């Protein structure tokens, strides 16, 4: 790699799979291949640990087809690595972001999810067992060729330096995701059950008691003794029959209605949601041995955010956070970033006035102090509206005030929206690109621009254009915020890995071998991180969170004066 790149001094070791199932490690240095050896599954962890620890290979970067295929077995054996390059995730970024990366685009066998990761609905383009999609992705030659394609593509990125950061951050995120799976979220199932019993009432075979009582009240108030509350169409008819004029059964609409059936109905919906999303069945499926182990999918969202597939980690209701409890002798350290997205917007647009409003305080209060809006609530609505593309309501009405107060920041998101509406592609700060327009957009524009297009065609084309504009407007902000969060996580996990091990007497053995004796990441949610730490390491873990946030800000935005204050708490649980 070129001078100054994060890879410049790193020894690179490529792991692939031989036909006999053994791992093949190819050691690369600046001048090319320096050696190769085959290792059995039993030999691999110790060998990796040795290379990772040896002073001579400081900065070794492990290159593999996919972190989800290689790292769990190492963690299982108690071995962590500091750095990796996840070819599958990096392929997806480079393929779209590098102009003219024809070789990468042609290597379609690298598209799609990791082998063995496609449970059902997502059609696997490729699988290790049936290489019908082309070369076996884990094959030694295939892996080395893909690495060569990516090495060739990076210097042709719009900004190679930023692209290297993005690839390193994305790969580090994949390591974090595997480590989170290994460590698990400490979960107090008994406490969770108490909450369920309190809210839903005892289960007596069928419907929990409190839900049954509420359902009875709704049926009585609507004069419909057989009504099935869980069927929106039937519920809607029953509401109409009772003279309640609503277009849907959503709680937003129902909340406006004055009728004796509404209060118990809304309460019923609340309970029903808790039961189906995080009730006893969820506990049985997802919590074992005091750990909740959700399935994270790094890079699963187009913007670069993580997705999840299983366990609903990204939707844990606030109501249940108090069941997230530290092991005895351990603490929960939580940190979330205050107003991450507008801060990122200030930095990427180099808007010094917005950065001023953000500095050292609540950003929305800062907007009030600048005189642009009257109250914090207005500042928040206006800023969200600016980032999401609101045009109507209170939000849409307030956005113009921000436009005049913060022309640089607003100019950047407005420009992204115009680009998107016109069918263009936008990029995050580090260079992840938005998808090209879909068929719906292309078709609408084609219809509207042909001779004899109707007014309806033109209206439709404009609407679809605006829809896409709202997406690209938000893409650059949400995507750059995701990059900041990855940088934060990446820095934090290395700091925590340097923490000393605690006495084995105070270990938390359920956290997995690599994490049971020192502070470790336990949960991540877009702009929020949770650490499970031995009591004596809690303060240091909190400081590591602050230091990592500071480092992430500098890594992305250099000396631009933006700060990322954390809301930090040390407690027995994750409850606010």
Partner DNA sequence: GGTTGACGCGCG
Partner DNA sequence: AAAGCGCGCGTCAACC
Could you list the residues that contact DNA (CB under 7 A)? 121, 228, 230-234, 236, 248-252, 256, 269-270, 273, 276-277, 282, 295, 297, 300-303, 305, 307-312, 314-319, 336, 381, 384-385, 388-396, 467, 470-471, 474-475, 478, 525-528
Closer Cβ to DNA, 385 or 534, answer by number: 385
Q: Whole-angstrom Cα distance, residue 202 to residue 204?
A: 6
DSSP 209: H
Cβ–Cβ < 8 Å for 87, 126:
no
For residue 216, the minimal CB distance to DNA (Å) is 17
For residue 364, the minimal CB distance to DNA (Å) is 13
Cβ–Cβ < 8 Å for 470, 387:
no
Q: Is 495 helix (H, G, I), strand (E, B) or coil?
A: helix
Edge-first strand listing for the sheet containing 520-524:
520-524, 528-534, 330-337, 566-571
Closer Cβ to DNA, 260 or 317, answer by number: 317
For residue 501, the minimal CB distance to DNA (Å) is 32
For residue 79, the minimal CB distance to DNA (Å) is 28
Closer Cβ to DNA, 30 or 251, answer by number: 251
Closer Cβ to DNA, 67 or 516, answer by number: 67
For residue 71, the minimal CB distance to DNA (Å) is 21
For residue 23, the minimal CB distance to DNA (Å) is 30
Closer Cβ to DNA, 311 or 534, answer by number: 311
- Chain centre distance of CA 550: 20
DSSP 248: S
For residue 366, the minimal CB distance to DNA (Å) is 19
Helices of type H across 371-454: 376-388, 393-405, 407-421, 439-449
Report the run of H or E that residue 13 belongs to, with start and end.
strand 12-17
Closer Cβ to DNA, 26 or 309, answer by number: 309
What are the residues whose beta carbons fall under 8 Å from the beta carbon of 392, sequence distance 6 or more?
none
Residue located via tokens 């309460």: 267
Q: Whole-angstrom Cα distance, residue 570 to residue 495?
A: 18
Token couple for 484 = 């900041």
Closer Cβ to DNA, 186 or 311, answer by number: 311
Cβ–Cβ < 8 Å for 193, 322:
no
For residue 346, the minimal CB distance to DNA (Å) is 17
Burial of 165 (0-12, 13-18, 19+ CB in 10 A): buried
Q: Whole-angstrom Cα distance, residue 240 to residue 303?
A: 42
Closer Cβ to DNA, 349 or 474, answer by number: 474
Token couple for 13 = 């070791």
């Amino acid at each position: 790699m070129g001078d100054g790149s994060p890879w410049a001094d790193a020894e690179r070791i490529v792991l692939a799979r031989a036909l006999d199932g053994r791992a093949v490690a190819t050691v690369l240095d600046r001048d090319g291949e320096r050696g190769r050896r085959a290792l059995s599954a039993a030999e691999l962890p110790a060998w990796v640990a040795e290379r990772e620890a040896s002073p001579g290979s400081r900065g070794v970067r492990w290159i593999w087809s996919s972190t989800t295929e290689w790292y769990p077995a190492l963690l299982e054996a108690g071995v962590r690595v500091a750095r990796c390059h996840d070819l599958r995730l990096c392929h997806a970024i480079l393929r779209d972001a590098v102009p003219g990366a024809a070789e990468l685009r042609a290597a379609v066998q690298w598209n799609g999810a990791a082998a063995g990761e496609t449970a059902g609905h997502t059609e696997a383009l490729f699988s290790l067992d049936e290489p019908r999609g082309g070369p076996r992705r884990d094959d030694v030659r295939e892996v080395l060729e893909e690495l060569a394609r990516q090495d060739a593509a990076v210097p042709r990125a719009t900004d190679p330096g930023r692209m290297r950061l993005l690839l390193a951050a994305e790969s580090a995120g994949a390591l974090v995701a595997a480590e989170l799976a290994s460590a698990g979220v400490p979960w107090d199932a008994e406490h969770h059950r108490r909450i369920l019993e309190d809210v839903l009432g005892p289960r007596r075979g069928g419907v929990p008691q409190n839900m049954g009582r509420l359902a009875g009240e709704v049926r009585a108030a609507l004069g419909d003794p057989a009504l099935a509350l869980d069927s929106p169409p039937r519920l809607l008819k029953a509401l109409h029959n009772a003279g309640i004029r609503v277009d849907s059964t959503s709680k937003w609409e129902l909340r406006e209605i004055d009728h004796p059936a509404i209060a118990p109905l809304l309460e019923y919906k609340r309970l029903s949601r808790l039961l189906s999303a995080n009730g006893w069945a969820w506990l049985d499926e997802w919590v074992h041995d005091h750990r909740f182990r959700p399935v994270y999918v790094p890079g699963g969202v187009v913007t670069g955010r993580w997705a999840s597939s299983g366990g609903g980690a990204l939707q844990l209701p606030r109501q249940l956070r108090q069941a997230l409890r530290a092991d005895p002798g351990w603490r929960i350290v939580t940190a979330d970033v205050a107003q991450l997205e507008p801060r990122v917007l200030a930095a990427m647009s180099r808007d010094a006035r917005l950065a001023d409003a953000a500095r050292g305080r609540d950003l929305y209060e800062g907007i009030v102090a600048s005189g642009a809006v009257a109250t914090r609530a207005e500042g928040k609505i206006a800023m969200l509206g600016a980032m999401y593309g609101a045009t109507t309501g209170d939000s849409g009405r307030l956005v113009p005030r921000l436009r005049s107060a913060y022309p640089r920041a607003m100019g950047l998101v407005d420009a992204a929206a115009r680009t998107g509406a016109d069918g263009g592609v936008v990029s995050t700060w580090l260079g992840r690109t938005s998808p090209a327009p879909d068929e719906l957009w292309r078709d609408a524009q084609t219809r509207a621009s042909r001779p004899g297009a109707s007014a309806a065609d033109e209206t439709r084309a404009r609407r679809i254009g605006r829809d896409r504009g709202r997406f690209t407007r938000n893409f650059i902000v949400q995507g750059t915020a995701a990059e900041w969060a990855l940088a934060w996580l990446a820095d934090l996990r290395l700091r925590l890995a340097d923490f000393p091990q605690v006495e084995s007497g105070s270990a938390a053995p359920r956290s997995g071998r690599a994490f049971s004796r020192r502070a470790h990441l336990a949960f991540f949610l877009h702009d929020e991180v949770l650490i499970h730490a031995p009591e004596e390491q809690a303060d240091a873990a909190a400081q590591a969170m602050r230091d990592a946030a500071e480092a992430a800000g500098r890594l992305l935005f250099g000396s631009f004066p933006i700060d990322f204050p954390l809301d930090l708490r040390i407690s027995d649980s994750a409850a606010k």
